[in-house]
Amino acid sequence: MLRSLISFRKLGTTHFNRAALFNIGFIESSRVANFECFIFHDVDLLPQDNRIPYRCGDQPIHLSSALDLFNYK
């Protein structure tokens, strides 16, 4: 399986739209190669547990184990 790490971010002063940013990231990443699987997440939602599998299935899954937003509480 071909694997790549592609980072994208919002530029400018327009309102932040996470879904639109992910959609644009998908479209632009699709131009790079013929990927079979996409895994999207915010920088603050990176999986921090080695037991969390980076894999693709038939349904979307959420790979984050905990949020640092409230000091994991």
**Number of domain units in the chain:** 1
- Over residues 23-33, the mean pLDDT reads 89
Average pLDDT (46-64) is: 76
Q: Which domain holds residue 27?
A: 1-73
- State the pLDDT confidence band at 71, using cuts at 50, 70 and 90: low
Which pLDDT belongs to residue 1? 60
Cβ burial, residue 68 (10 Å; 0-12/13-18/19+) = exposed
Higher pLDDT among residues 16 and 69, named by residue: 16
